[in-house]
Amino acid sequence: MTQAFAAPALHLLLLEAARALSLLRAGRSLTEALEACPPALRPGTQALAFAGVRAHGRCGALIAQLVPRRAPPLVEGLLRAALAQLLSEPPSYAPHTLVNQAVQAARKAVPAQAGLINAVLRRFLREREALMATALMTPEAQFEHPVWWLQRLKQDWPEHWQAMLLEAQKPPPFALRVNRLQQTPADYLARLQGAGLAARPLGASVPEGVWVDPPCPVTQLPGFADGAVSVQDGAAQLAAPLLLDGVGSLPDLPQGARVLDACAAPGGKTAHLLERRPDLQLLALDQDAQRLRRVDETLQRLKLQARCAAFDARDVAAWWDGQPFDAILLDAPCSASGINRRHPDVRWLRRETDIAQLVTTQAQLLEALWPLLAPGGRLLYATCSLFAAEGRDQAGAFLHRHPEAREHPVPGHSGHHLGLPENAGVAVHGAGFAVPSDGFFYALFVR
Ligand X SMILES: C[S@@+](CC[C@H](N)C(=O)[O-])C[C@H]1O[C@@H](n2cnc3c(N)ncnc32)[C@H](O)[C@@H]1O
Contact 275, 229 (CB under 8 A): no
Contacts with 99 (C-beta within 8 Å, 6 or more apart), sequence order: 82, 118, 121, 122, 125
Angle at 83 between CA 82 and CA 87, to 5 degrees: 120
Residue showing the smallest CB distance to ligand X in the complex: 263
| Residue 315 beta carbon to ligand X: minimum distance, rounded to whole angstroms | 8
First-to-last alpha carbon distance for the chain, in angstroms, is 66
Q: Which amino acid is at 154?
A: K
| CA separation for the pair 104, 172 (Å, rounded) | 32
Adjacent-strand bridge partners of 446: 378, 406
- Which residues contact ligand X by CB under 6 A? 263-269, 285-288, 291, 312-314, 331, 333, 365
Residues involved in catalysis: 384
| Residue 76 beta carbon to ligand X: minimum distance, rounded to whole angstroms | 31
| Residue 261 beta carbon to ligand X: minimum distance, rounded to whole angstroms | 7
Q: Which is nearer to ligand X, 200 or 351 (CB)?
A: 351
Q: Which is nearer to ligand X, 264 or 428 (CB)?
A: 264
| Residue 345 beta carbon to ligand X: minimum distance, rounded to whole angstroms | 16
Q: Which is nearer to ligand X, 132 or 363 (CB)?
A: 363
Q: Which is nearer to ligand X, 40 or 318 (CB)?
A: 318
Cis peptide before 139 (omega within 30 of 0): no
Q: Which is nearer to ligand X, 268 or 430 (CB)?
A: 268
| CA separation for the pair 443, 447 (Å, rounded) | 13
Q: Which is nearer to ligand X, 265 or 405 (CB)?
A: 265
| Residue 289 beta carbon to ligand X: minimum distance, rounded to whole angstroms | 9
Contact 260, 285 (CB under 8 A): yes
Q: Which is nearer to ligand X, 52 or 267 (CB)?
A: 267
| Residue 364 beta carbon to ligand X: minimum distance, rounded to whole angstroms | 8
| Residue 221 beta carbon to ligand X: minimum distance, rounded to whole angstroms | 19
